[in-house]
């Protein structure tokens, strides 16, 4: 432990050693806030604090996993696995499951994703016969989300004339009614949306003092990363839980507050001192992440903001290369510049794909980047698009599974009641809906009792409804004793989903079938992983909990070497050696929708600060003089943010006037009629021409290609790689069981097992294909 503390600088060490009381660490990007939190938790445990009593809230599940892994390295994984660590949503979903009955919810409540919420709202808008052009479902959902995050319940809404007037002014006088119907619909479906997870936690903690006391006593130490982006609802939860022991440590950077549009309240950080008594404030000033050029350029940017806490950020790192600015004619050309730069860097400096990130303001910008990367055969991964679990064919399977767990789930039911087609038409469905509203029951319950209710349905239709009920019930019976894999496989076959998809022999159709296979593979991994834990059987409900809260940033892809593409919002907290911030144009960044007030513009500027400070070594800012936006070629001007950076930190790759017509450093192939030697001459002086290998593959591509067959053997890269090497006598580290020694190896191939004696937990036999082991 002492070793880790010694690695911290003086300013970082202080908050780690300060064990008790409220404290706040305010510091700029890359100064080690997250690292301090990590070491602090390890040190608390080292001092004998029970892992079960430490609650740590992070911005993504991935961040939580990484933190847990580092802590495991320090204190051992058997202890670290007991930490309460995750996003607000995942931690409080877990708590809500065990307390759901108090709020009138089943413990197997469904978590609606935003697609489900939108469908539900669209349904209500239709029922209420409102104009969809006035009541746009997305806007309605966002308004409701704001209510919830500000803890404005339906009742509070109807007691607040100002809110009602505001909605009436924006021509939506029936917003309150809509809100009420949405809440009722979710409740009847036994479902909570994302915002409910926070709202209901607040309700739980305020309405039931004994529950509050229980969790206050449980969480003696509470830590929050990225505190600047907490919303009011999250703030109140933290406040309530920490009220008894007041051992609360929050870290954040007001300059990186970028979620105001989703209700984040920067005042939470500014007012922290007032909320608790005797708050200790710590400041970190040394940045370890980035070069001097990047740190100082970022300082000059944030200086332009008026609303901020004064902070110093400096670094002992080298000056490093200047920030490179590149102008191109079109967005397509911008993409080619980025792709060819990555290609050249990989060749010249032996860099891997994973060392590059391309960040943009809006998701739509990824397309031109993708096209260019594909042409260069550069593997990439987009974060934050439609996640795997939201693809239509996957979601269809998941909706059947949701019904198995919670048949009241109305959105799931509506989605699959007649898919694959089984002759249950819209008129029938509407009748069911009316009856469900009338009896205040779920549609599924109405269907169960269809013989007793007179809905003027013919006997054939009634039979079809009963068949559906019987099918779901038969799945439920199977689910009682089988694992998630078995039931999913069964459901995808018995419902006819897979057969339906197989009818479509186009490549898209085949891809869908493959996606379902991929889903099954993922579930297999999950169940096998769960079975390593004593007593767990890899139940469907456990899997569905993971899925409901998974964002694709959370996916563990550490074994894949890919360029990362994501919005700047998603990149918060992350770092990469080379970062491209693309689309540096007025109206795009800063966004046209966010520059009508000073505070909006300041939030955009903070967003730029976040983008730039993700880079460790080299940052690129690129812009195009025209780009396709909403299907139209639009002229654009360079972003004001480029000008705001002191010129000494910048290097213009496209300095001379008009030289953009000759497009330096581009993939010249598509300009076949242009004299290529001229294009090469236009390259900047410091750029040596790339030396492509015979097949255009870089060294890292070659190594990835060689590794691929090995990695493909099984789901877990590392385990499989040394799978063959593991022999009796090896000392290994297991993610959950900690350190152990291999006693015996038996079986071969996919069935190869190791008998391992763990220091804690005794002898266990593990299937090597799934065991997460490292030889130490
Ligand atoms: P952000 O504001 O972007 O979330 P942060 O303040 O959380 O940044 P970290 O991510 O904790 O910063 O640290 C930035 C980088 O600096 C990491 O790679 C971290 O390992 C490294 N680092 C932090 N402190 C030290 C230190 N004392 N010695 C060496 N490296 C350090
Ligand atoms: Mg951080």
Domain boundary among 547, 577, 607: 547
- Provide φ and ψ at 548, rounded to 5°: -60, -30
pLDDT band at 752 (very low <50, low <70, confident <90, very high): confident
**Distance of alpha carbon 640 from alpha carbon 585, whole angstroms:** 8
Judged against a pLDDT cut of 90, whether residue 281 lies above it is answered with yes
Judge whether 225 and 32 are in contact, CB under 8 Å: no
- For the beta carbon of residue 762, count every other beta carbon within 10 angstroms: 10
Ligand 1: residue of 6, 34, 63, 291 to mutate (most ligand atoms within 8 A of CB) is 34
Q: Are residues 410 and 532 in the same domain?
A: yes
Q: Where are the beta strands (DSSP E) in 515-558?
A: none
* 233 CB burial (10 A radius; 0-12, 13-18, 19+): buried
Please report whether residue 514 resides in a domain: yes
Q: Which helix (H) or strand (E) holds 213?
A: helix 209-218
The complex's ipTM?
0.99
Instruction: Give catalytic status of residue 34 as yes or no.
Output: yes
Show the tokens assigned to 115. 């697609």
Domain shared by 397 and 516, yes or no? yes
Distance 215 CA to ligand 2 centre (A): 26
**Residues 47, 15 within the same domain:** yes
Say yes or no to pLDDT of 339 above 80: yes
Interval 75-127: pLDDT, tens: 998 889 899 999 999 999 999 999 999 999 999 999 999 899 999 999 999 99
33 catalytically annotated: yes
Atom of ligand 1 nearest to the CA of 31: 6
Q: Is 712 a catalytic residue?
A: no
Examine the residue annotation and report whether 371 is marked as an active-site residue of this protein: no
Considering the domain architecture, whether residues 65 and 8 belong to the same structural domain is answered as yes
Nearest ligand (C-alpha, residue 287): 1
Q: What is the pLDDT of residues 546-583, one digit of tens each?
A: 888 877 677 666 678 999 999 999 999 999 999 999 99
Whole-angstrom distance, CA of residue 376 vs CA of residue 763: 50
User: What value, to the nearest 5°, has the Cα angle with vertex 316 and ends 310 and 320?
Assistant: 105
pLDDT at 671 over 60: no
Q: How confident is the model at residue 757 (pLDDT cuts 50, 70, 90)?
A: confident
Residue nearest to atom 23 of ligand 1 (CA): 32
Statement: residue 441 has pLDDT above 80: yes
| Residue from 143, 289, 614, 640 carrying the catalytic annotation | 614
Q: Please give the distance, rounded to the nearest whole angstrom, from the Cα atom of residue 551 to the centre of ligand 1.
A: 24
Last residue of a domain, one of 586, 618, 652: 652
Q: State yes or no: 693 annotated in a binding site.
A: no
Query: What are the CA-CA distances from residue 735 to residues 47, 77, 665, 759 (Å)?
Result: 22, 6, 46, 13
Is the same domain home to 206 and 174? no
Tell me, letter by letter, the H, E, C secondary structure of 155-201. HHHHCCHHHHHHHHHCCCCCHHHHHHHHHHHHHHCCEEEHHHHHHHH
Q: How many angstroms separate the CA atoms of 558 and 721, rounded?
A: 14
Residue nearest atom 17 in ligand 1 by C-alpha distance: 289
CATH of the domain at 409: 1.10.486.10
Do residues 50 and 152 both lie within one domain? no
Cα 261 to averaged position of ligand 2 atoms, centre (Å): 21
530: tokens are 């769960």
The arithmetic mean of pLDDT across residues 669-692, rounded, is 34
Residue 92 lies in a domain: yes
- The pTM (predicted TM-score) of the whole model is 0.79
Report if residue 24 sits inside a domain: yes
Atom of ligand 1 nearest to the CA of 36: 11
- pLDDT at position 740, please? 82
- Phi, psi angle pair for 407, to nearest 5°: -65, -10
Q: What is the rounded distance in angstroms from the CA atom of residue 581 to the CA atom of residue 95?
A: 39
As a whole number of angstroms, the distance between CA 141 and CA 127 comes to 16
User: Is 34 among the annotated ligand-binding positions?
Assistant: yes
Any domain includes 293:
no
Res 239: pLDDT: 97
What CATH number should be reported for the domain holding residue 325?
3.40.50.300
Q: Enumerate residues lining ligand 1, CB below 6 A.
A: 7-9, 12, 27, 29-35, 253, 256, 288-289, 573, 575
Ligand nearest to the CA of 613: 1
Residue nearest atom 26 in ligand 1 by C-alpha distance: 8
State yes or no: is 350 an active-site residue: no
What span, in angstroms and rounded, lies between the C-alpha atoms of 670 and 683? 17
Same domain, 86 and 46: yes
pLDDT band at 770 (very low <50, low <70, confident <90, very high): low
CA of 297 to the centre of ligand 1 (A): 18
Q: Which ligand 1 atom is at minimum distance from the Cα of 8?
A: 27
pLDDT exceeds 70 at position 657: no
pLDDT (tens digit per residue) in 462-504:
999 999 999 999 999 999 999 999 999 999 999 999 999 999 8
Indicate whether 182 belongs to any domain.
yes
Going by pLDDT thresholds of 50, 70 and 90, the confidence category of residue 685 is: very low
367 shares a domain with 323: yes
In order, the DSSP letters of 92-116 are HHHHHHHHGGGGT--TTPEEE-HHH
Question: Which of 608, 637, 652 is where one domain is finished?
Answer: 652
Counting the structural domains of the chain, the total is 5
Closest C-alpha residue for ligand 1 atom 15: 289
* Structure confidence at residue 369 (pLDDT): 94
- The structure tokens listed for 290 are 């980035």
Domain that holds residue 126: 110-189
Q: Is 122 contained in some domain?
A: yes
Domain identity same for 578 and 472:
no
Please tell me the predicted confidence (pLDDT) of residue 558.
65
The answer to whether position 431 is within a domain reads no
Mutate to test the pocket of ligand 1, among 288, 575, 607 (most ligand atoms within 8 A of CB): 288
Any domain includes 667: no
Sheet holding 248-252: strands in order across? 84-86, 54-57, 221-224, 248-252, 23-27, 280-284
CA of 664 to the centre of ligand 1 (A): 36
29 is in an annotated binding site: yes
Look at ligand 1, atom 14, and give the residue with the nearest C-alpha. Answer: 30
The single-letter DSSP state of residue 322 is: P
Task: Confirm whether 640 is a catalytic residue.
Answer: no
CA–CA separation, 660 vs 682, rounded Å? 9
């Amino acid at each position: 432990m002492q070793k880790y503390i010694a690695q911290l600088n003086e300013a970082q060490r202080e908050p780690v050693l300060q064990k008790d009381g409220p404290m706040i660490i305010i510091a700029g990007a890359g100064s080690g806030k997250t690292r301090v939190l990590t070491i602090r938790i390890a040190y608390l445990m080292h001092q004998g604090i029970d892992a079960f009593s430490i609650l740590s809230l992070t911005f993504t599940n991935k961040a939580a996993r990484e933190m847990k892994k580092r802590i495991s390295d320090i204190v051992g994984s058997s202890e670290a696995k007991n930490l309460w660590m995750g996003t607000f949503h995942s931690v409080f979903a877990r708590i809500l499951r065990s307390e759901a009955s108090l709020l009138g919810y089943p413990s197997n409540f469904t978590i609606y994703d935003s697609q489900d919420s939108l469908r539900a709202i669209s349904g209500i808008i239709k029922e209420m016969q409102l104009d969809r052009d006035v009541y746009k479902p997305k806007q309605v959902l966002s308004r409701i989300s704001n209510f919830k995050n500000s803890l404005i319940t339906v009742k509070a809404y109807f007691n607040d004339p100002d809110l009602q007037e505001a909605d009436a002014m924006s021509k939506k006088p029936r917003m309150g009614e809509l809100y009420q119907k949405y809440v009722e619909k979710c409740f009847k479906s036994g479902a909570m949306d994302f915002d409910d997870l926070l709202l209901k936690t607040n309700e739980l903690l305020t309405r039931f003092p004994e529950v509050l006391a229980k969790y206050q006593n449980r969480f003696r130490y509470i830590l929050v990363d990225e505190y600047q982006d907490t919303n009011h609802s999250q703030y109140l939860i933290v406040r309530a839980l920490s009220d008894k022991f007041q051992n609360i440590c929050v870290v954040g950077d007001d300059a990186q507050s970028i979620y105001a549009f989703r209700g984040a309240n920067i005042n939470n950080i500014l007012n922290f001192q007032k909320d608790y008594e005797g708050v200790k404030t710590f400041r970190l000033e040394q940045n370890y992440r980035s070069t001097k050029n990047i740190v100082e350029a970022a300082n000059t940017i944030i200086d332009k903001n008026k609303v901020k806490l004064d902070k110093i950020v400096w670094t002992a790192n080298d000056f490093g290369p200047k920030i490179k600015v590149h102008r191109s004619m079109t967005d397509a050309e911008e993409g080619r510049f980025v792709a060819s730069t990555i290609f050249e860097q990989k060749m010249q400096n032996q860099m891997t794909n994973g060392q590059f990130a391309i960040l943009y303001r809006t998701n739509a910008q990824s397309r031109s980047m993708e096209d260019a990367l594909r042409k260069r055969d550069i593997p990439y991964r987009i974060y934050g698009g439609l996640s795997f679990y939201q693809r239509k064919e996957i979601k269809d399977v998941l909706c059947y599974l949701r019904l198995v767990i919670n048949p009241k789930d109305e959105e799931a039911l509506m989605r699959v009641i007649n898919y694959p087609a089984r002759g249950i038409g819209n008129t029938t469905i509407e009748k069911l809906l009316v009856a469900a509203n009338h009896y205040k029951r779920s549609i599924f319950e109405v269907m169960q009792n269809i013989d007793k209710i007179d809905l003027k349905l013919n006997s054939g239709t009634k039979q079809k409804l009963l068949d559906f009920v019987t099918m779901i019930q038969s799945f439920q019976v199977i689910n009682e004793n089988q694992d998630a894999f078995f039931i999913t496989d069964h459901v995808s076959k018995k419902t006819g989903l897979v057969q339906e998809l197989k009818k479509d022999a186009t490549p898209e159709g085949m891809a869908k079938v493959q996606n379902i296979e991929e889903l099954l593979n993922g579930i297999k991994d999950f169940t096998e992983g769960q079975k390593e834990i004593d007593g767990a059987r890899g139940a469907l409900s456990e899997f569905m909990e993971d899925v409901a809260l998974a964002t694709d940033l959370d996916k563990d892809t550490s074994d894949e070497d890919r360029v990362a593409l994501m919005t700047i919002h998603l990149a918060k907290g992350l770092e990469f050696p080379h970062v491209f911030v693309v689309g540096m144009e007025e109206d795009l960044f800063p966004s046209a929708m966010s520059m009508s007030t000073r505070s909006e513009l300041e939030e955009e500027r903070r967003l730029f600060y976040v983008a730039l400070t993700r880079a460790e070594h080299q940052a690129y800012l690129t812009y195009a003089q025209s780009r396709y936006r909403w299907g139209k070629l639009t002229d654009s001007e360079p972003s004001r943010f480029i000008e705001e950076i002191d010129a000494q930190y910048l290097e213009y790759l496209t300095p001379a006037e008009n030289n953009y017509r000759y497009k330096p450093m581009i993939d010249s192939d598509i300009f076949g009629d242009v004299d290529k030697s001229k294009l090469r001459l236009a390259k900047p002086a410091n750029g040596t021409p790339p030396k492509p290998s015979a097949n255009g593959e870089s060294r890292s591509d070659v190594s990835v290609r060689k590794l691929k067959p090995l990695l493909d053997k099984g789901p877990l890269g590392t385990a499989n790689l040394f799978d063959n090497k593991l022999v009796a006598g090896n000392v290994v580290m297991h993610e959950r069981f900690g350190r152990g020694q291999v006693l015996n190896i038996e079986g071969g191939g996919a069935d190869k097992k190791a008998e391992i004696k763990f220091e804690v937990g005794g002898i266990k036999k593990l299937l090597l294909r799934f065991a997460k082991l490292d030889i130490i």
